[in-house]
Structure 1
């Protein structure tokens, strides 16, 4: 697996957090040139199918040839995995990193965890964000050196890569993961610029803490790629911190999808070509995910069909020296039980 998919020590990639001496983050390696991706990649491929491009094969071959495959389920013990309850539904774990996050130090990368549920009829999608500091039980890593104890959920990646992350999320949610995709939030800039900008409704007036210290006004506004990326990173100016960052990322994802779905993009070969190049050159997915099949199933997907939710929590606190997020286990169980049963109305109700 390439360096762009190595998430760092879960307790060192944010200033002010506490270092867990048990975690040994991999040393940073030179990044491949041209690797610019965003969380929207999976849905982008779907949209291209809706525009008739993938059906013709030209864009599918271009996208498919640039996709890196990873063995996401290697060593995951089958006997410990949740059983499939709703056949035909699909659950995709999306891991997002930000390899150029200004807050990162020593090659560390922040990360995002989303469980995307696609119902059997593929009429919608529910994206549930799990805060990276959620305090959970992490299974023991394959090498036996880490895990086997409670920790922040993102520790699983640092300790055992994608397979241990699969085990941890499945154990926490009770939902069987069918596929995995890994993307980079730093790719927002290229994606948004390829679209000619996006419209975002900013919740309040604030100034970015990162150079060039942009001032964001409250209300709807047009953003170019640099501004959208900057906006999606902000958290310290908001009382709910990382939860605000999650909201901002969700806003940008929806805005990108809506803009990409517009006829002006799908009908313009130049815009479509730059959009494909910006989104497909570095996406990584598991070995069994067929993007073409998924795209054809979901070719009618639009931003209005997406539901964004966050795993229910009781707020933040401390465990020893660590600042963590405590899940509301009762409410989370109700939400993820609905996901497992493909009960979309219940997911929507529980996710509000």
Structure 2
């Protein structure tokens, strides 16, 4: 009994549609094997025609895999796992970089000469933590000063004495220069009381008792507690300057150096290399204010060095930055508790514009016992050093309008 197809049921014609035809023969002529023909079944219209395949055509099951054809979709990637692995890799690289920076900073720390200037002062004192206000005694010496007598070449002199006060917020620094000829009481020894000894030029303290007696003398004179000590050999700053590519210094009047090779410094801004800058900051006899001019030039030199060191051209140039840091650590001697890494972190915001140079108040030069000395303005000096001890130097500078002029 044969079945009858109802007239109302639509007839669906299925037609075999060939995909890519197979190329006969063992190969395709290009060295690649032939692909088998692909069979696709397409629905037909009532009249037997086949709708077009492609854009605008049906999107039915025209091939293996996912709808619409194409290769089957594989398992979804585990993005969380990828992110975790990437994060771990970045962390490892950061740790390696941090360890490298730590070892580099430690090598710089070890490159600095060390001394213990506090051992004779009240039995020594504990290391100062790098927080709160801080006072650092900076003693500039020149082991190869051409003005030093040849037969005393081994005796260093304190040509520059600066008390550097850093407020508790670590955003500024006040550098108070003490004239090397300032007439002050010098104790008999670093461990003796302030009332002992006799009055002499303050730089004699370094010559007689080295850094320990220099610290004791400055503390007795200022009544300011010294936390750290840094001795700077200005002769070594020749290499520091050259490592930075030289510095620009202002020459207020044209002079000829009194030291060989008798350089001429022309009025205006001069770009100086290490030898030239060192020669310039040694000059004093050609200026009406003599030693005060030299002290002022040293202040300007230190500011220029800091500005150049903090410039983009230095910080973004690893070889140049390394040469600068190595030359600095070669030129300074610090106390046992001084940590270069701690200082770098705490005082990273300091720049030349954050430095205020002040000279210890004085009454000028006088002749006492046959020698020319600088006499301290005791009343005004006392007020200033009390401001330093009380961490109110900003207020004192504003009241006295001394910022930037370098004069007492």
| TM-score, length of structure 1 as denominator length | 0.79
Q: Secondary structure at the match of 2:175?
A: strand
Say which is worse superposed, 147-156 or 168-177, in terms of deviation.
147-156
Quote how far apart the aligned CAs of 1:143 are: 8.7
1:335–1:346 CA contact under 8 A, matched in 2: no
Quote how far apart the aligned CAs of 1:277 are: 2.1
- Indicate yes or no: 2:123 matched with 1:62: no
1:54–1:292 CA contact under 8 A, matched in 2: no
Quote how far apart the aligned CAs of 1:189 are: 1.4
Q: CA–CA distance in 2 between the matches of 1:254 and 1:230?
A: 17
1:131–1:311 CA contact under 8 A, matched in 2: yes
1:119 matched to which residue of 2? 167
Q: 1:54 to 1:347 in 2, by over 3 A?
A: farther
Structure possessing the higher relative contact order (Cα contacts under 8 Å, 6 or more residues apart): 1
1:212 matched to which residue of 2? 261
2:252–2:268 CA contact under 8 A, matched in 1: yes
2:145 matched to which residue of 1? 101
1:335–1:351 CA contact under 8 A, matched in 2: no
Q: How does 1:260-279 map to 2 (within 5 A)?
A: 260-279=309-328
- Decide which of 187, 191, 215 is 1:139's aligned counterpart: 187
Q: How does 1:1-352 map to 2 (within 5 A)?
A: 56-77=101-122, 88-105=132-149, 106=151, 107=153, 108-111=155-158, 112-141=160-189, 148-349=197-398, 350=400, 352=402
Q: 1:70 to 1:54 in 2, by over 3 A?
A: farther
1:35 matched to which residue of 2? none
Structure 2: give runs of 5+ residues left out of the alignment.
Answer: 1-96, 403-408
1:53–1:59 CA contact under 8 A, matched in 2: no
Quote how far apart the aligned CAs of 1:139 are: 1.3
Q: CA–CA distance in 2 between the matches of 1:226 and 1:187?
A: 10
Structure index of larger Rg: 2
1:181–1:286 CA contact under 8 A, matched in 2: yes
Alpha-carbon RMSD across the aligned residues, in angstroms, is 2.4
Q: Secondary structure at the match of 1:96?
A: strand
Quote how far apart the aligned CAs of 1:78 are: 7.1
Quote how far apart the aligned CAs of 1:159 are: 2.5
Quote how far apart the aligned CAs of 1:309 are: 1.1
Q: CA–CA distance in 1 between the matches of 2:320 and 2:208?
A: 41
**4+ residue stretches of structure 1 with deviation over 6 A?**
52-55
2:236–2:330 CA contact under 8 A, matched in 1: no
Quote how far apart the aligned CAs of 1:282 are: 4.3
Q: CA–CA distance in 2 between the matches of 1:66 and 1:289?
A: 12
2:237–2:327 CA contact under 8 A, matched in 1: no
2:157–2:203 CA contact under 8 A, matched in 1: no
1:191–1:279 CA contact under 8 A, matched in 2: yes
1:117–1:125 CA contact under 8 A, matched in 2: yes
Q: CA–CA distance in 2 between the matches of 1:72 and 1:62?
A: 23
| TM-score, length of structure 2 as denominator length | 0.68
Q: 1:284 to 1:224 in 2, by over 3 A?
A: same
1:4 matched to which residue of 2? none
Structure 1: give runs of 5+ residues left out of the alignment.
Answer: 1-51
Quote how far apart the aligned CAs of 1:283 are: 2.1
Say which is worse superposed, 191-200 or 161-170, in terms of deviation.
161-170
